[in-house]
Amino acid sequence: MGTKFTADQGGYVTAIKFFKPASDTGTHIGTLWTSGGGQLGQCTFTNETSSGWQSCTFANAIPVTANTVYVASYHASNGGYPATPGFFTQADDVWPLHGPAGSNGVFAYAPSSTFPNQTFNATNYWVDVVYTSNFVPAGAPGVTAVTPVAGAVNASFNGPAVASFNEAVVPSSIIFTLKDPNGASVAGTVSWNSTTNAALFAPSSALAQGTRFTASVSGATDAAGHAMSGAYTWSFTTMTCPCSIWPSSATPAVPFASDGSAIEVGVKFQADTNGYVSGVRFYKGSGNTGTHIGSLWTASGQLLGQATFTNETASGWQQVAFSDPIPVTAGTTYVASYNSSSGGYAVSSGGLLQAVDNSPLHALASGTSGGNGVFQYAGTPTFPTQTYNAGNYWVDVAFNTVPGTTTPPSLTAETPAPNATGVQWNSALTATFSKTVQQSTIAFTLKNASNATVPATFGYNATTRVATLQPNALLAAGATFTATVSGATDNFGNTMTPFSWTFTTAACPCSVFPNTATPQTANVQDNSAIEVGMKFRSDVAATVTGA
């Protein structure tokens, strides 16, 4: 419940008041708002009497401007309140304060403190303020706490730097800078939180990892004109990635469990900043044998990357790297999982009832993410969608803000094989890459013995990483051709070394069987004249010259 009011001159609101009926028990929270719903200050009523006027004082007096509408309200947890219907059909004027007539006496049904914007019958709910025009804050404003703390060595590289003040200050007076080790200013924006009396500096992009930064706050002035005595300066060092949700020292409540069937288990997570997932981690109990395959999925089940764990230890944290780091977007939900062929997994029942936060990564709380701690019974890697009791199955990722790869793509297989002979005239050529490449960068050519380019149609399958070249016409018989793949570039700008190979097509006259072939039974006698033969077909139009 609340009251709209104005003041005839600028001043300060130091407290909220309300009249309490004897039946109004529970917790009461007072709030001062702008007319548009901006929260200016809040306090909790304590040491209340059983009835009558109650008051709570703000931590710092809140400046208000003359002839500007504000709203004073309080939240009653048990829903009790006094009321005088029709009171605000006329203005309530007690100089220098005024309760305007009309849509005054405001309320909102809500389980927690909320800006009240409904009215009924111009009812007065008996909410008031303590106002003064000559309040002067004691002393000058100063910084009382900072985040990251001074000297921190594992600070988030994407979180804001925060300076908390002992009182409210004029936001436009704050000078807040952040500088790197070379003294260069970091680009960012400064904001003011009037509820916590804190200034925030938000970098425009993620800070460099493992780097010492120096923050400085100066110039802050309160509404009475008192200024800070001098600049407040502190330094901190950002963390270094790869980063994970759980440290390597973390262990599950149940290191090994099994339901007797192959299973996929996983975790939903988000990152605070854009970056790259280079691999999947999982905690292995000593009984969790068999093959393990790690996967990264979108929230809707699109497979982004997959790799098989190798060189595992008998127990503890295991990690596998994808062929290339996979880019992920800040604030977007992904699923990391692994498939256990033997059905073994680790679990902490209820481990994801609450979010697990280790900036810049967050394992989402089950109740706010559609269920977390996901699984699926399957013998092959499968997107896990089932949940049970918010179980943490101890699946994690390796995350970084930079791709961290300089290895160029290469070819792992070619068809026809290098130096192959007897190749069919209508064969398609294929080239398999070691990692995902950008299709637009691939140059795949085929040339004949005269170095003339053979017209052909190109294709690329990003899932299998296979490029295909299909000649538009049959290749010449008994001829040597040279295939070349070049220019292929991965998602991080690494370009392959060109690779060429040759092959020779089959020559004619041609037969189904070579001269070296022999029958299983060389002589069969039925004692009657007989005609024997074989059905055959040709891949191309041609002439049969004999039998």
Question: In degrees to the nearest 10, what's the CA dihedral of 445, 447, 452, 455?
Answer: -50
pLDDT averaged over the chain?
92
| pLDDT value at 391 more than 90 | yes
* Weakest-pLDDT range from 67-76, 186-195, 223-232, 463-472: 223-232
What's residue 11's pLDDT? 80
Rounded alpha-carbon distances, angstroms, from residue 496 to 50, 241, 291, 434: 80, 28, 32, 10
Q: Span 289-304, mean pLDDT?
A: 97
Q: What is the mean pLDDT of residues 99-117?
A: 94
**543 and 421: one domain?**
yes
Q: What is the mean pLDDT of residues 347-355?
A: 97
Give the largest Cα separation in the chain, rounded.
134
Q: Are strands 499-505 and 480-486 parallel, antiparallel or unpaired?
A: antiparallel
Q: pLDDT band at residue 138, thresholds of 50, 70 and 90?
A: low
Asked if 258 and 174 sit in the same domain, the reply is no
Structure tokens that stand for 389 in this block: 């009791």
Say whether 218 sits in a helix, a strand or coil: strand
In the predicted model, what is the mean pLDDT of residues 306-332?
A: 93
Cβ neighbors of 527 (< 8 A, separation 6 or more) are none
Pick the more confident residue, 138 or 250: 250
What is the pLDDT confidence band of residue 134, given thresholds at 50, 70 and 90? low
End position of a domain, from candidates 210, 237, 264: 237
Q: What does residue 439 show for φ and ψ, rounded to 5 degrees?
A: -55, -40
Q: Are residues 410 and 313 in the same domain?
A: no
Residue type, 235: S
Segment 4-11 mean pLDDT: 87
Is 116 part of any domain? yes
Q: Which amino acid is at 99?
A: G
231 occurs within a structural domain: yes
Q: Tell me: do 501 and 484 sit in the same domain.
A: yes
Assess whether pLDDT exceeds 70 at residue 135: no
Strand partners, 318: 282
Q: Is residue 242 part of a domain?
A: no
Residues of the chain with pLDDT > 90, as a percent, come to 73
Q: Which domain holds residue 425?
A: 406-547
pLDDT of residue 406: 66
Q: Do 268 and 355 belong together in one domain?
A: yes
User: What's the start-to-end Cα distance of the chain, in Å?
Assistant: 104
Percentage of the chain exceeding pLDDT 70 = 98
Domain ends where: 99, 132, 165? 132
The residue-averaged pLDDT of 292-313 equals: 96
Q: Is 245 inside a domain boundary? A: no
137 in any annotated domain = no
Answer yes or no: is pLDDT of 534 > 80.
yes
Number of domains the chain is built from: 4
Report yes or no on 244 lying in a domain: no
Q: Give which of 50, 55, 46, 44 is closest to 23, Cα–Cα.
A: 50
Spatial distance between the Cα atoms of 399 and 302, rounded to a whole number of angstroms = 19
Residue spans of alpha helices (H) in 352-460: none
Asked whether residue 137 carries a pLDDT value surpassing 70, the answer given is no
Q: In what order do the strands lie in the sheet with 420-423?
A: 420-423, 499-505, 480-486, 443-447
Tens of pLDDT along 418-428? 999 999 999 99
Q: Which residue has the tokens 């120096």?
A: 214
- The CATH number of the domain where 75 resides is what? 2.60.120
Claim to verify: residue 393 and residue 413 sit in the same structural domain = no
- 265 and 387, same domain (yes or no): yes
Provide the 8-state DSSP code for 208: P
What letter represents residue 506's amino acid?
A
pLDDT tens-digit readout, 41-76: 999 999 999 999 999 999 888 888 888 999 999 999
CA distance 163 to 147: 7
Euclidean distance between CA atoms 307 and 119, whole angstroms: 61
Task: Determine which of 8-12, 192-196, 200-204, 484-488 has the lowest per-residue pLDDT on average.
Answer: 8-12
Which pLDDT score, from 0 to 100, does residue 153 have? 82
CATH number where 520 lies: 2.60.40.1220
Round to whole Å and give the CA distance between 13 and 11: 7
Same domain, 547 and 422: yes
Distance between CA atoms of residues 34 and 108, nearest Å: 16
Mark residue 121 as left, alpha or beta (left: phi above 0; alpha: psi -120 to 50; beta: remaining). Answer: left
Give the 3-state secondary structure of residue 440: helix
For residues 119 and 153, membership in a common domain is answered with no
Distances (CA, A) of 251 to 164, 246, 248, 264, 375: 36, 9, 8, 19, 19
Is the whole-model pTM more than 0.75?
no
Task: Assign 405 a pLDDT band (cuts: 50, 70, 90).
Answer: low
Check whether the bond before 137 is cis (ω within 30° of 0): no
Report the CATH number at residue 370: 2.60.120.820
Inside any domain, residue 243: no
- Is 183 inside any structural domain? yes
Q: Do the strands 334-340 and 344-347 form a parallel or antiparallel pair, or are they unpaired?
A: unpaired
Which residue has 């039998």 as its token pair?
A: 547
- 414 and 373 in a single domain? The answer is no
**Using 50, 70 and 90 to split pLDDT, how confident is the model at 457?**
very high
Whole-number Å distance between alpha carbons of 125 and 92: 13
Instruction: Pick the last residue of a domain from 169, 202, 237.
Output: 237
Specify whether 438 is located in the same domain as 493. Answer: yes
- Whether residue 294 sits in one domain with residue 313: yes
Over the stretch 111-126, which tens digit does the pLDDT of each residue have? 999 999 999 999 999 9
pLDDT for the residue numbered 539: 77
Interatomic CA distance for residues 68 and 312, integer angstroms: 69
